[in-house]
Amino acid sequence: MKLDVNLGSRSYPVFVDDNGNLPDILANTFPNRRFALVTNTTLSRLYDGILSNWKARLDFLKIEIEDGERYKNLETWGKVLDSLLLSGLDRSVVIIAFGGGVVGDITGFAAACFLRGVDYVQVPTTLLAMVDSSVGGKTGIDHHSGKNRIGAFHQPRMVWISTSFLKTLPERDFLSGYGEVFKYAFIGGRNMFSFILENHEKIIGREPGFLLQAITNSIRIKAEVVSDDEHEKTGRRALLNFGHTFAHALETFFNYEHVLHGEAVLWGIACAIEMGKRVKTIPDSSLREYDRIMQLLPRVNLPAKPDAERLCELMLSDKKTSNGRIRFVLPASPGEAVICDDTGKETAQAVIRYVVEGYAETQI
C-alpha cells in the first residue's frame, strides 16, 4: 500500500507492506547515488542477515550508534556526521535510517545538517516510529535542558515500512508505540475513535489485519495534518501533541530513564482526558464514551510517584509554552481536540495528583 504526504515539490510516499523490496526501490528511485545506513547495535545484530543482503545490493556505508534514548544527543549526532564526512561522501548521498524513533530522529537531523542538507529515507522498525516519528519531518536530539530541544524540520524522501519487523519488537516497546496509535483516537476524527474503541484488544494482540489497519489509519491522519501545517504554524499540527505536554514533563522528571516515550504519552493521555473533564472541553453527552475508552488505556508502571508541582514547573519550561502559560491539547467531541492555554496551574496540579493516585501503577 502506498500513502502520500503532500507537500508540493517535497511530497513523498509512505510504503506500508508494499510488495517490492527496499534495495530495488531505492536503487530505482535514486539511480547512481551512494548510500549510507544508520542503525543501532541492537538492530544491527538482530537484522544482520537482512542488512548484509541490502548491503550487497546498495553498497552503503554502515554507521552504528549505541541503543537508547540517552544516546539521542549531540555526541552521537556528531559521531554520525564524523562518519559521513570522513568517508568522503558528497551531497549525492542518500541516508537510510533503519531503526526506531531514536535512530530516525538522529539520522534525520544528521541528514538535515550534513553538507547543508541531503536526502534521507526512513525505514522504521518500531510501532512508534511507523505511526509517528518517521512521517512528518521533525528531526532532532535531546539536550540536558529538555527533550528534542535541538533539531530541524527536514522531510524524508520516502518512508518504507515493513510490519514484519514488529515480530521481534519487545512487548514493552510495542505498547509504548501503541501510546501514539491510541493518541490518534482523540485527534483523528470520529472513525478513528470508534476503530480504537472497537478493536483495541485485537491491535494490542498484534492480529495482523487489525494492526496493519491501525498503522495505516495512524499514518493517514499524521500525513494529513503534516500536509496541512508542516511547520506547526496554524495550530493544526500542535494537535499531534495530544497528551505530550504532560508526557514530556514526566520523561524529564524521570531523566528519560525508566519511562518510555509512548508510555509517557499514555500517562499524558490520562491526564489530558481528566483535564478535559474538569475544564469541560468534553461535552457532557460524550463523557460515557470517554469513560469507555479510558478503561482500555494501558496502565503504565512508574518507578516513583512524580511530584505534581515539579511536573508543572517542567511543563512551563517546555519549548511549546505560550507566554508563561502551559499549552494543553484537550479532548472535545470524540475524535476531536482543542488547544487550551488558560486552564490554570492549580487545575493542572490537581489533575496530575488525581492521575498519579488513580491511573499509574507505581513501583517504588
Would you tell me which residues interact with ligand NAD (CB under 6 A)?
40, 42-43, 46, 67, 69, 72, 99-103, 105, 125-126, 128-129, 132-133, 136, 138, 148, 165, 168-169, 173, 176-177, 261-262
Active site residue 258: no
Q: What values do phi and psi take at 231, rounded to 5?
A: -105, 25
Cα–Cα distance for residue pair 325/191, rounded to 1 Å: 32
Maximum Cα interatomic distance, the chain, rounded to a whole number of Å: 62
Q: What values do phi and psi take at 55, rounded to 5?
A: -65, -35
Which value, in Å, is the radius of gyration of the alpha carbons in the chain?
20
Question: How near is the Cβ of 149 to ligand NAD at its closest, in Å?
Answer: 11
Residue 288 in 3-state DSSP?
A: helix
Question: How near is the Cβ of 61 to ligand NAD at its closest, in Å?
Answer: 20
Q: What values do phi and psi take at 46, rounded to 5?
A: -65, -40
Active site residue 255: no
Burial class (CB in 10 A: 0-12, 13-18, 19+), 94: buried
Q: Which of 157, 222, 277, 327 is catalytic?
A: 222
Active site residue 40: no
Q: Which of 72, 147, 154, 244 is catalytic?
A: 244
Please give the single-letter amino acid code of residue 22: L
Residue 41 or 92: the one with the smaller Cβ distance to ligand NAD is 41
Question: How near is the Cβ of 201 to ligand NAD at its closest, in Å?
Answer: 22
Residue 112 or 302: the one with the smaller Cβ distance to ligand NAD is 112
Question: How near is the Cβ of 180 to ligand NAD at its closest, in Å?
Answer: 6
Residue 126 or 218: the one with the smaller Cβ distance to ligand NAD is 126
Question: How near is the Cβ of 214 to ligand NAD at its closest, in Å?
Answer: 16
**Which grid coordinates are listed for 223?**
500525513
Question: How near is the Cβ of 45 to ligand NAD at its closest, in Å?
Answer: 10
Helices marked H in 153-189: 171-187
Active site residue 237: yes
Residue 148 or 199: the one with the smaller Cβ distance to ligand NAD is 148
Active site residue 200: no
Residue 160 or 290: the one with the smaller Cβ distance to ligand NAD is 160
Angle at the Cα of 256 from the Cα atoms of 254 and 258, rounded to 5 degrees: 65
**Which grid coordinates are listed for 207?**
492480529
Active site residue 55: no
Nearest residue to ligand NAD on Cβ basis: 101
Q: Which of 232, 289, 313, 336 is catalytic?
A: 232
CA dist 354 → 181, 328, 357 (Å) = 24, 17, 5
Active site residue 202: no
Strands (E), the chain: 2-5, 12-16, 35-40, 61-65, 94-99, 119-124, 138-143, 146-153, 158-161, 301-302, 328-331, 337-340, 361-362
Active site residue 244: yes
Residue 126 or 281: the one with the smaller Cβ distance to ligand NAD is 126
User: Which residues are catalytic, by number?
Assistant: 116, 138, 180, 222, 232, 237, 241, 244, 248, 261
